[in-house]
A and B are shown apart, each in its own frame.
Chain A
Amino acid sequence: MELSTTDRRLIAALADGLPLVPRPYAAIGQDIGLSEEAVLDRLRALVDGGVLRRFGLVVRHHELGYQANAMVVWDIPDEHVAAVGRLLASHRNVTLCYRRLRRLPAWPYNLFCMIHGQDRDKVRELLSDMVRDLDLGGIPHTILFSRRRFKQRGARYAPDALQGAA
């Protein structure tokens, strides 16, 4: 779906999330010169159009007790990557699953997924369950645990437009 300037301003105004006030959409609208009804109409359209994959609480895994966060990367022949990607994405332990460009020779992996667990042993266990369930034993993969988190927040889609509202 094609995004209007208004849509872009609305998405930018939502970067830090809804304010915790009784009528948050009215407050967002006030920041960008839209009525509450117009904000709600556009948000419904953006959700229906698939631009907003979901709308709701965005939580931080770590603070919920999921202390281990692993990016697992796989080197899968290009002709099979979509099928394996769909399989991985459907597994209950996976929260994100993307195909990305390889960068040989530095980076041979073309499929990325995220696994969150209470600790590293749990993540390793979830991964080995997955390898077994999905019969992925022969596929080269590696696991990258996170150590420090330097930044985690919503994306800024239009930094220039945001400055007035910040």
Chain B
Amino acid sequence: MTENAQIDKIPRQRPDKLSRALIDGWQRDFPLSSRPFAEIAAALDVGEDDVLAALGQLSEAGTLSRIGAVVAPNTAGVSTLCAMAVPAARLEEVAAVVNGYDEVNHNYEREHALSLWFVVTAADEARLEAVLAEIADRTGLEVLDLPLLEAFHIDLGFPVQWS
């Protein structure tokens, strides 16, 4: 895991050929079958063990977050994007408070007067509002709540240009 990492200091590792093929080919339409890794292995003409090992390495390196579902906004839960204007000297402290919530899945420092940006996802609206209110209360800072009104993109995964 690379949480709390200074983004620019993470070394870059170039994935090998099999890993690149996995990233290029299976960000969507991952096989929904009993032996998905074997199915992918057959398509790439390698062994199931090779696929599992390559994915394990990608996961270890932090390149692979997970093999899983990207859930459409506001279907399985409710979510919102929040921003806070945090004084520089308090940023780590406030970020730690925010990170402490299981409901927070993304949390970034951005270069703006509104310096902390995070996504909160909760089972229902009441819990979402409670988390936001609690963060405001515990930090003494205003939490700007920027709920989603409409999603425009179709998520096909991220097209990597291998250099």
Interface residues of A (CB under 8 A from B): 1, 3, 7-8, 11, 14-18, 20-26, 36, 40, 43-44, 46-47, 50-65, 67, 69, 71, 82, 85-86, 88-89, 92, 94-101, 103, 106-107, 110, 112, 116, 118, 142, 144-160
B71 within 8 A of A: yes
B5 within 8 A of A: yes
Interface residues of B (CB under 8 A from A): 2-8, 10, 12-15, 22-23, 26-30, 32-38, 48, 52, 55-56, 58-59, 61-73, 75-77, 79, 81, 83, 95-96, 98-99, 102-112, 114, 117-119, 121, 123, 144-160, 163
Q: How far is the CB of B93 from chain A (nearest CB, A)?
A: 11
| A89 near B152: Cβ-Cβ < 8 Å | yes
| B119 near A155: Cβ-Cβ < 8 Å | yes
Of the candidates A89, A92, A147, A155, which one forms a contact with B71 in the assembled complex, judged by CB atoms under 8 Å apart? A155
Of the candidates A60, A89, A159, which one forms a contact with B65 in the assembled complex, judged by CB atoms under 8 Å apart? A60
Q: How far is the CB of B11 from chain A (nearest CB, A)?
A: 9
Question: A-B pairs with CB below 8 Å: how many?
Answer: 279
**Residues of chain A contacted by B106 (CB below 8 angstroms):** 151-153
**Residues of chain B contacted by A26 (CB below 8 angstroms):** 34
**Residues of chain B contacted by A44 (CB below 8 angstroms):** 32
**Residues of chain A contacted by B66 (CB below 8 angstroms):** 16-18, 58, 153-154
**Residues of chain A contacted by B110 (CB below 8 angstroms):** 71, 144-147
Report, nearest first, the 6 A-B pairs whose CB atoms are least far apart: A17-B66, A89-B152, A56-B30, A155-B121, A89-B153, A17-B68
| A62 near B10: Cβ-Cβ < 8 Å | yes
Q: How far is the CB of B57 from chain A (nearest CB, A)?
A: 10
| B151 near A97: Cβ-Cβ < 8 Å | yes
| B27 near A59: Cβ-Cβ < 8 Å | yes
For the complex, give the distance between the alpha carbons of A48 and B38 in Å: 23
| B144 near A16: Cβ-Cβ < 8 Å | no
Q: How far is the CB of B98 from chain A (nearest CB, A)?
A: 7
For the complex, give the distance between the alpha carbons of A17 and B79 in Å: 20
| B109 near A58: Cβ-Cβ < 8 Å | no
Give 14 new A-B contacts, CB below 8 A, not counting A3-B76, A150-B107: A11-B69, A25-B32, A55-B28, A55-B68, A56-B157, A57-B22, A59-B27, A59-B64, A60-B2, A71-B110, A89-B152, A144-B117, A145-B110, A155-B105
For the complex, give the distance between the alpha carbons of A48 and B77 in Å: 18
